[in-house]
Chain A
Amino acid sequence: MATEKLIWLILVLWLIIGPDKMNKFKKFYIVLLITCYWLLITATAQAARLYFESQEATVGTSGEFSVGVNIDADERVNAFSVAVSISGPLIPFDINEANSVINFWVEKPNWDKTTRLLTFSGITPGGFQGEKGRLLVIKFKTEGEEGNAVLGFDKKKTKVYLHTADGAEDSLELTELHLPIIKGKENIPVAIFDNDPPEAFIPEISQDPSIFDNKYFLVFATQDKGSGIDHYEVCEGNKTKCAIAESPYFLQNQKLDQKIFVKAIDKNGNEKMATVEPRYPMKWYKFWWIWGIIILGIVAVFITKKFK
């Protein structure tokens, strides 16, 4: 928006001081027309605004601090692709997605040290409209040096989409954050007391010809409002045989004859487990322990009869 304003200003100035041959009245009317149009555009233009909300206006060289990535949306928006550029002596070391307006992550937040870009994308079914929508919180440490850090958005890689049937792109206003880093000040991290497990969830088994050769896969997702989800584990058959997993998860047991346990574990170690009952439970005669009981029973009857 700032660039557009500048272009309009240059155009108006050029008309005032530029074309000598133009009739003064004509010139006046054109300038008036452009000014009115510019005022109209700036008064009515609706855009989403992406900006940062720092815990502190000035940060110290030691300790850790947080910066939120927020959105104000005049129109309802439902998809976000964001690239945060981080310059200066700052190291992002953790991300908190706990209370994000993004419900499903297409790309989980990823920090690329080389390009110094933190990228992520995701969707909000139903859309978000309003102010101070939190996308995520970035936790930072400094490199121990004084200086100036600048957080910004990569204009080409940052896009927000309107909640419409055709996925139209919204216009964006991107605001940088300048953070002076000074010596002698210690940053105090925001304490998160999270004793609650993640929200209850229901994993679902599905199959589709377009993925995993039409074989069964498992989908799951939940939220943790305290510290955020750290990871998921899927256990096929019993609770001890678990593997760290992401959704969609290709099921090893394609017979679907055993229970599946899915654990959601938050960043504070709290755990919520969901159980998926077998779709095609094993027949009774396939359980070894049932045969064990039968054999023991037969042996017991035999022994009883023999020693009677």
Chain B
Amino acid sequence: MFSGGYSTSSSYRLFGAISQISIGTSTATNFNLNSGFLYFPFASSPAVSATVGDGQVSLSWSISQGFLGWNVSGYNIGQSTISGGPYIYTSLGNVTSSTRTGLTNGTTYYFVVRAEDAFGNSIATSTEVSATPKAAVVPPTTPVSPGGGGGYAAPATGVVFSGKAYPGSNVILLKDAQLAVKTIAGPDSKFEISLSGLAGGDYNFSLYGEDKNGIRSPLFTFFLTITSGATTNISGIFIAPTIAVDKKEVKRGDNITIFGQSASQADIVISVSSEEEFFTRTISDKDGIYLYNFDTSLVDYGTHHTKSKASIAEQLTSNWSYLISFKVGTQSVAVTFPIGKAPEKGDLNNDKRVNIIDFSIAAYWYKRESPPAAIDFNGDGKVDLVDFSIMAYYWTG
């Protein structure tokens, strides 16, 4: 048994209750009665970007997603000149950007973004991001006399991403949905990616992890306005876990192994949903590998779905992994290894990726008669925007 985030207790007493956990913090309007201990709400941690300016810092952050009854109703920004705080908080309402002005150039400021529920409770906090405002560099005017000397280097326009993936995993950055950079996370799961030479403007950046089996996480997507001549730092990204099962079909009563990779020693919550949603918990090992043997006698015959999410020190919480399905039937059929690599749908040219090539093939068949079955992802006899939406969901770049 472990704390749902509100308690600071180190010992627990077991009792039964039918209520919201963390009383008064949920805005859920419908409820299910389930057995177990893990039905506490959570919200994913926002990733925060900081761009320095003259006496100011522009902050923006990813939306914090609430689950199991929690809905994010607004955000607070904590500001300090000391790393780790104490922070002075400003309430901003339900927005995802803010410019902090009146700052002293040359002084390093530390910021955190706190997501709040409708009752003003803090339900998710970002990691700290730092930024040092600086005076604008004025380009020199054209020299009056020739003779050389000196020079002017225009400040670089770029972006730096940092956060956690899985130990030794590939971390892939997409810029406007196309492959930009691929890097490898360290043994501590940390990664940092720099991208320079950009023009000022609005960008769609996505990151995902690829574990040692080649299984991919969903995209972590972040829309960002890049300021010309400035470097934007985005920190606190926590890539969602990968997930797989060892059987396509499992004989009812046998175990099915649900596994994947996340950061090392992360709390992994696994959801198995059928008519009723089951939650269970495990901890990833030093390599970030997690594994759980799920007893299928708990669920009925039919197709079921599973997904996982990770949290570190009850502070940094990822989004959900992909939702994958398995069948509970009368026999057990193992998944053929090696698994992973090929996305479930969208890979039309069988190169294990969903990218512009697949998009182009699908675009060729858009609204044409008798498309090949492989392109008609939802099997409705036509290639329309629904098929493109499915392709965008499984996109790998």
Contact = CB atoms under 8 A, between A and B. Distances in A.
Pairing of A with B: yes
Interface of A: 40, 44, 76, 78-81, 98-99, 101, 103-104, 106-107, 121, 123-131, 133-134, 159, 161-167, 169, 196, 199-202, 204, 206, 208, 210-211, 217, 219-221, 223-226, 247-248
Contact of B392 (A124, A204, A221): A124
Given A78-B392, A81-B385, A247-B356, 4 more contacts: A78-B389, A123-B359, A126-B206, A210-B374
Given A99-B201, A125-B174, A125-B395, A221 B356 contact: yes
Interface in B351-371: 356-357, 359-361, 363-366, 371
Contacts of B323: 165
Interface of B: 29, 63, 95-96, 174-178, 197-204, 206, 219-221, 223, 323, 344-345, 348-349, 356-357, 359-361, 363-366, 371-372, 374-375, 377-378, 385-395, 397
B246 to A, nearest CB: 21
Contacts of B344: 165
10 contacts: A79-B392, A104-B359, A124-B392, A134-B202, A164-B393, A165-B390, A204-B356, A210-B364, A210-B375, A225-B202
Contacts of A134: 202
A78 B385 CA distance: 10
Contact of B361 (A44, A125, A200, A248): A248
Residue of B360, B366, B374, B391 with most chain A CB atoms under a 10 A cut-off: B360
B395 A167 contact: no
B360 to A, nearest CB: 4
A163 B348 contact: no
A103 B176 contact: yes
Contact of A208 (B348, B356, B378, B390): B348
B360 A217 contact: yes
Contact of A167 (B29, B221, B390, B397): B390
Contacts of A101: 202, 204, 223
B200 A167 contact: no
A167 B386 contact: yes
A248 B393 contact: no
B177 A104 contact: yes
B174 A123 contact: no
Nearest to B391: A123
Nearest to A220: B356
A300 to B, nearest CB: 46
Contacts of A200: 197
B177 A167 contact: no
Nearest to B157: A196
Nearest to A41: B29
A55 to B, nearest CB: 18
B221 A127 contact: yes
B349 A206 contact: yes
A104 B204 CA distance: 12
B363 A167 contact: no
A80 to B, nearest CB: 8
B76 to A, nearest CB: 18
Nearest to A98: B201
Which one of B95, B206, B366, B389 has the greatest number of beta carbons of chain A within 10 Å? B389
B204 A166 contact: no
B63 A125 contact: no
A44 B178 contact: no
Most buried by A among B204, B221, B344, B385: B385
Contacts of B200: 225
Contact of B199 (A124, A196, A211, A221): A196
A121 B357 CA distance: 18
Contacts of A223: 176, 201
B161 to A, nearest CB: 14
Contact of B29 (A44, A99, A162, A202): A44
Contacts of A225: 199-203
Contact of A163 (B198, B357, B377, B393): B393
Given A98-B201, A125-B397, A161 B389 contact: yes
Most buried by A among B95, B363, B397: B363
A226 B375 contact: no
A211 B364 CA distance: 7
Nearest to A79: B389
Contacts of B178: 201-202, 221
Nearest to B226: A225
B338 to A, nearest CB: 22
B201 A167 contact: no
A176 B384 CA distance: 26
B210 to A, nearest CB: 15
B219 A125 contact: yes
B357 A204 contact: yes
Contacts of A217: 360
A161 B387 CA distance: 10
Contacts of A204: 356-357
A126 B221 contact: yes
B158 to A, nearest CB: 13
A219 B219 contact: no
Nearest to A207: B349
A23 B344 CA distance: 58
A199 B199 contact: yes
Contacts of B361: 208, 210-211, 248
Nearest to B366: A106
